Every structure is written in structure tokens, then in C-alpha cells.
Structure 1
Amino acid sequence: MSDKRSHTDKVLEATYSSSAAALSQIAASWHRSIMKHGLTPDEHRAPERITQSELDERRKVLDKFLMVAAPRLDSLFSLVGQSGCAVLLTDADGVVLDQRMAEADAPTFEAWGLWAGTDWSEEREGTNGIGTCLTERRRVIIHQGEHFHARNTNMSCIDAPIYGADGRIVAALDVSSARADQTEAFNRLIGAQVAQTARAIEEANFRAAYTSARIIVAECDDAEAASLLAVDDDDLVIGATREARRTFNLAGTGPLTALPAADILGREDGPTGFERAERAAVIRALARADGNVSQAARQLGIGRATLYRRMKRLGLDES
């Protein structure tokens, strides 16, 4: 029996099992691929690729986001590129918008469809790193034979979702490997770096969306999530990342109704106290500026005099 036939049988068996989908997230995705999206694991068609004009239009919509993400994609690729991995960034539909890969590996990735303009939604490609990450709204590792299509079982894909400033998923960050000897243990190491980079992009994109606001870093349970609040000059919270929205019971998506920061964070002592959060933000800015108040004020997006008043209220001096 061929490997391809064996994989197809495995997918079909799990899909029509009465319990497999309930016990395994991979089997649940296989089940969606067949029963919801009407796909078959042994089909031969190549991944769908949109036209260059359509790709240009999608990139234009996310132009600012792509600019923020680019240097962080470069950094991630510098860590994983020499091991035969490609770094891909998609939009919320699973269409690849940007990529990083070694020149020697490019023909392999292009042949597999891991290329700008290709649609890797779960609706189109079944279980895969990009599509399943976006569908299940979580970090995933799809290792070789866990892919739905038999033609994709030579690759390993490690993904994390990226949420926009409005709390909605804006992209998926993917690292895909062309190595046949890629191990699951190595995938987990890459997964940690992918999650960290996704958080860095999410945080930088949020800050770019609120350049005139003061950004407060709030504590949260998830160390790999960006929990940020944007506060205006009147101490009203005007923006929050997805994790901050969850932590403080704010609207999950869309614009926020401006609320006093004190009402959201509280002024009681404790890990989410407003005074503690604001004090920590000011101390971090001063530390980054090596004690230069003017520079710290610029980092916080407020005037020098305003920062002095807040330092006095918080019991901080220039030392």
C-alpha cells in the first residue's frame, strides 16, 4: 500500500469514526475538511493562487500592518531560515501576503504552494497550519501526516494567529519546513519563537494604531499574549488588545466606548491596580530613556510637563 493511499485511508477512517473527532483536534479538522468543505484527501489539484492584481489589493488593505510586521519577519527568518524553513504572513482569509525563504529553498516552497498569493484557508486546503490556525483561532503545529491532503504530508507548519487593534484576527504567522527529517521536538522549539514573534507584531501594530495615546501594559494570565490598553490625555481607555479586552471584560471586537482608566483597572492595591500599572509604565519609560524625562515623555506620547506632574503624583523623582 502506498504512503498516499495509507494517509487517505487514515483520514477517512478518522472522519467517519464516531469518536475520533471528539478526541483529537486533528481528526476534528479532518472531519470539517470532508463533511463541511467537501474536500478529499487524495485530490491532485494544486493550491489556488490569486492574481497579482488581487494580491496587490489585499496588500494595500493591510499596508501599515505589513510595514510594522516586516522587520519582525526578518528577525524570525534569521533564526529559522538556515534550517530549511520559510516564514509566511497571511491575511485573515489565509492568503499569503509576505514571505521569507532561502533562495535555494524557493523552488520547493513555490512548487508546494507556499508562496505569496496562495490561498491556505482550511476551506480550500483542509487541515494545514495556516487554515486551521485561523479556523480554530489558536496556535497550531501541523506536522507532516497531520495535514489533510496527502500531497502536503512532506511539510511541517507552525502557526500563530495575530489580532488587530480592534480585537479581530488580522493575520496568521507561519513557519513551514521543507525538511523530511523535521522532528516534532524541533517544531515545538520553533513554535515558541513563532508565538513570541506574533505577540511582538500584535503589540507593535497596536502601538502604531494609537500613536497619540499612552500605552499601559496590563498583567494577564497568558505570558504569550499582548495585554495593552491605550489611554488618552483625559485618562480614558480608548483602545485595548484582544487579551486586555478579555482580561477587563471589554467588548471583544470593534471600537471601544471610552471609559475612565480608573473604572477599568481599579485603584485598589493588587496586580491590576491603576496606580501600579501607571507607575510601572512610567518607570519603564524612564528606564528606557536612561532617566531622561523629555525622552521618556516622548515614548509615552505625552508632554514633558504632564509627565512631571504624573511622576509627582506617583511619588517618583528624577532619580
Structure 2
Amino acid sequence: MQGRRNLIKNHADRVFESVRSSTAAARSAVAASWRRSFDRYGLDPSQRQEPRAVDESTLLRQKEAAGHLMHLAEPRLDELYGMIAHCGAAVFLTDRDGVVLSGRARPGDQGAFREWGLEAGRDWSEAAQGTNGIGTCLAERRALIIHRDEHFMAHNTGMSCIDAPVFGADGALVAALDVSSARADQTESLNQLIAAMVTRLSIQLETDLFRAEFSNRRILMTGEETSGAHLLAVDSDDIVVGASRAARQAFGIVREGAFDKRPLRDLTGEASVGLQGAERSAVLRAITRAGGNLSEAARELGIGRATLYRRMKRLGISER
């Protein structure tokens, strides 16, 4: 018992020393989160504070509100759990406020995670628990690892938490995907391996959400997926009507919410071709779709074959 009290005191002293420092927050993201936990939320690292539990009716309403997300996320949670369950870790999905909506843990580990307060209905926001994987991931909107004594609260320092944010089709933050472990022998290399899995699954979930939202549009993938799903939804006139968060960042579109629709060509940087160029592109697309059959291409364009020949000649398109 005395040893435990000493551990709590030593951790609290370390946190307070960092919080009092004028430079620590600038040097370390963890120290910056500790400062928020102390200054903004008034938390004490030495005090044990059980994660607040929402009542069952509130949790049910929150799950219903996240129904679309939950439907798409459950298979992804199963997939991730299947990859890490043998490590004694558990998988959790929270809403954008840090309330746990769903989780996966081996039967023999569920009691331990319940003691930590990691179960459905518990609030793991940074405001409630200080620096922790779920809350700090949501506060900073980025994938991260909070390993053991990087937690703000002393009673959470036995855990390693690995998290990635999930962004909806409109670029808004909708959830956090979390893998937590209370193993004392959890290594940094294992954390990094799990982090790669968590990030990959969060990107796949974002892709699922985007494709479901724009199921009646053409979806284009641009750029690398390492920083998120770069997806654009394009209508039949090649107008961009939707963009994922990563695509918004890449193309300078407002971070979240509605945006002014714009031609795909404007985003991709292709030179403007004017009306004649647009007409030539339309004719070439029709001919290509028809496999070179000019009669079929003319029907698709709604013109006669002779008219198509005249336009092809004017636009410099060979019959071959």
C-alpha cells in the first residue's frame, strides 16, 4: 500500500513540475496535454476519479444517434480485435465526446478493464480523465500513443492506450478508435505495431462512412492514405460534391461541413480547356464508351451520325 502511495506521489510531483514549467508544454505534446488537464479542467493527478458513467437511456440515445457509424464500425472493431486480442488488449469505439459506445475484450480480461473504467457508457474525454489515449486523441484530432506514466491521472498509469480519430464524410470528427492494454510488459515496439493497425482501421472506417454517404456518386481516391482517406465524390458533370477530411486538407477546402462545389479540373490543377475543349472531351468519352462505334456514340450524344462526323472534323478527332 505504501509503495502504491509513493508511486502516486512521485507521478503527481512529476506532473506538477511539468505544469509549473514555462517551457515543458512547448517541448512536449504530453506536457501540453498535462497543462490543459490542470489549467483548463482543474484536475488533480493524485486523486482517483472514476470515469463518469452516463445512464442507460442516455447511452442508448447516443448509440442511436451514432447508428450509421455503429453499423459500419462493428465489423471493423471485430477485425481489429481479432488481430490484437492475443496480446491481452481490448478494443473500444467512442463518440466524438469520448463516451465509450462499444468494446471488445477477452472474457478473462473484461473484469480488469471494468476496474479501469473502460466499458460502454464511460466518459474518457480529456476534461474528465486528463491526458489519456481517447480524450487526448479527440482533443488533438490526431493518432497517438499514451503509454503508462504519460497519463495525467496517477491511477491510469498502468495502461497503454493507442488511439486514432475517425472523421465523417463531411470532415467532422465523429469518433475515436482505441486499443488499451494494462500489461506491464507492453513494449514501445508492440505499441507502434498496434498503432499502425489502429490507424489503418480508422482510415478504412472513414472510407466506409464516405462511400455510404455518397453511394450514388463516383468516388475518386487521390494521394497516399497514410494521413487519411483522400476521397472526392464527383457527380455526372465532374463537379466535386463531397470531400473527405484528408482530401480537404490536400486541396485547401474548408476543414469540415458544406463547401462551395467546384469542378474536378479546378482541384486537380488541369488547365482550363474552354467550351471547345469540353465539347471535344464529351465527344471522345462517348466514342470511347461505344467502343469506337460512331452510330452508338451519336445516339448517346443525342445527335445524328452526320452531325457527329461534322463535329469530329471541326474538333480534330480522327474517325480512327
| TMscore range, shorter length | 0.7 to 0.9
Counterpart in 2 of 1:118? 122
Residue number among 229, 250, 268 corresponding to 1:247 in the alignment: 250
Counting aligned pairs with the same residue, the percent is 47
Question: 2:47 and 2:242 mapped to 1: Cα distance?
Answer: 45
Asked if 1:58 corresponds to 2:57, the answer is no
Asked if 1:101 corresponds to 2:78, the answer is no
Residue number among 45, 48, 52 corresponding to 1:41 in the alignment: 45
Question: 1:179 and 1:127 mapped to 2: Cα distance?
Answer: 19
Counterpart in 2 of 1:261? 264
Question: 1:62 and 1:28 mapped to 2: Cα distance?
Answer: 31
Residue number among 10, 35, 51 corresponding to 2:14 in the alignment: 10
Post-superposition offset of 1:45:
2.6
Question: 2:38 and 2:98 mapped to 1: Cα distance?
Answer: 19
Question: 2:48 and 2:220 mapped to 1: Cα distance?
Answer: 51
Q: Letter of the 1:260 partner, please give it.
A: P
Counterpart in 1 of 2:174? 170
Residue number among 223, 236, 246 corresponding to 2:239 in the alignment: 236
Question: 1:189 and 1:242 mapped to 2: Cα distance?
Answer: 24
Post-superposition offset of 1:200:
0.4
Q: Letter of the 2:194 partner, please give it.
A: I
Post-superposition offset of 1:166:
0.9
Post-superposition offset of 1:170:
0.6
Counterpart in 2 of 1:196? 200
Q: Letter of the 1:163 partner, please give it.
A: F
Consecutive unaligned residues in structure 1, runs of 5 or more: 269-292, 294-304, 307-319
Question: 2:132 and 2:223 mapped to 1: Cα distance?
Answer: 33
C-alpha distance after superposition, 1:105-154 (max 9, x if no partner): 00110111111111000011000000000111111100001101111011
Post-superposition offset of 1:58:
0.7
Question: 2:31 and 2:187 mapped to 1: Cα distance?
Answer: 21
Residue number among 57, 67, 71 corresponding to 2:71 in the alignment: 67
Question: 1:176 and 1:20 mapped to 2: Cα distance?
Answer: 26
1:73 match: secondary structure: helix
Question: 1:257 and 1:46 mapped to 2: Cα distance?
Answer: 45
Question: 1:45 and 1:14 mapped to 2: Cα distance?
Answer: 21
Question: 1:213 and 1:256 mapped to 2: Cα distance?
Answer: 17
Larger Rg: 2
Question: 1:266 and 1:30 mapped to 2: Cα distance?
Answer: 43
Counterpart in 2 of 1:227? 230
Larger deviation: 14-23 or 71-80? 14-23
Q: Letter of the 1:234 partner, please give it.
A: D
Post-superposition offset of 1:234:
2.1
Counterpart in 2 of 1:286? none
Consecutive unaligned residues in structure 2, runs of 5 or more: 272-288, 290-299, 302-320
Q: Letter of the 1:193 partner, please give it.
A: M
Question: 1:186 and 1:237 mapped to 2: Cα distance?
Answer: 40
1:98 match: secondary structure: strand
Counterpart in 2 of 1:155? 159
Question: 2:62 and 2:227 mapped to 1: Cα distance?
Answer: 28
Task: Give the TM-score of the pair, scaled to structure 1.
Answer: 0.82
Question: 2:239 and 2:255 mapped to 1: Cα distance?
Answer: 18
Question: 1:24 and 1:219 mapped to 2: Cα distance?
Answer: 30
Counterpart in 1 of 2:144? 140
Residue number among 160, 183, 186 corresponding to 2:187 in the alignment: 183
Task: Give the TM-score of the pair, scaled to structure 2.
Answer: 0.82
Q: Letter of the 2:256 partner, please give it.
A: T
Moved over 6 A (4+): none
Question: 2:227 and 2:172 mapped to 1: Cα distance?
Answer: 17
Superposed CA RMSD in Å reads 1.6
Tell me, yes or no, if the aligned pair for 1:162 and 1:170 is still in contact at 8 Å: yes
Asked if 1:83 corresponds to 2:56, the answer is no
Question: 2:255 and 2:32 mapped to 1: Cα distance?
Answer: 26
Post-superposition offset of 1:250:
1.3
1:237 match: secondary structure: strand
Tell me, yes or no, if the aligned pair for 2:49 and 2:129 is still in contact at 8 Å: no
**Matched residue count:** 270
Question: 1:163 and 1:108 mapped to 2: Cα distance?
Answer: 30
Tell me, yes or no, if the aligned pair for 1:47 and 1:113 is still in contact at 8 Å: yes
